[in-house]
Amino acid sequence: MRALMLILGVMLGAGATFPARAPGPSSPADTVNLREFAFFAVRVEDVEAAAAWYRDVFDLDLANRLDAEDGRYAVRILSGGGLVVELIEQPDAGRAPDPHLGLFKAGIRVADIESFHQRLLALGVNADPKPIEDSTLNVRTFVFRDPEGNRIQAFGTID
């Protein structure tokens, strides 16, 4: 696993690019397209189910697949539109005793907050009912959850 993290760090540090995914009719690229580069890694129970969800919600492509020969871990790295998500399944790790300790949420900045929010609702994603305005940070924002309950906060600039 340490080697995997080193490889990903070298790839990102060297300015590695990942293949772009052609936008589909029900997933316009401008709703998901990030304004800046973003990366986060999430431990999941079912890496294939999680990969499918992140692929569909963020319009990502599978960039890499790493599976330990002994089954200790399975990793899927997805990318597209400035976002890289690393999903890690570790069957022997178990759940954290208190899921509110440690990382509380990840954040992304999207080009069109309203369209992205509507896209998530149309996909049935567990999301706040509407974006709220934070005039201090000059953003509109909302929180949504992946199928395992991990929080992700989307930010868009107030126009």
Give pLDDT tens digits for 68-98.
Answer: 999 999 999 999 988 899 999 998 876 666 6
Lookup: tokens for 1: 């696993």
Q: Which residue has the tokens 């440690």?
A: 102
Amino acid at 78: L
Q: Which residues of the chain have pLDDT under 70?
A: 1-36, 94-103
Maximum pairwise Cα distance, the chain: 52
Q: In the chain, where do the E strands start and end?
A: 38-44, 61-67, 74-80, 83-89, 105-109, 126-127, 132-134, 139-145, 151-157
Amino acid 23: pLDDT: 44
Whole-number Å distance between alpha carbons of 96 and 159: 40
Amino acid 105: pLDDT: 85
For the chain, the average pLDDT equals: 79
Amino acid 8: pLDDT: 39
Phi/psi of residue 53, each to 5°? Answer: -65, -50
Lookup: tokens for 71: 């089954």
Domain range annotation of the chain: 30-91+105-157
Query: CATH number of the domain at 30-91+105-157, please?
Result: 3.10.180.10
Which of these, 133, 154, 158, 157, lies nearest to 57 by C-alpha position?
Answer: 154
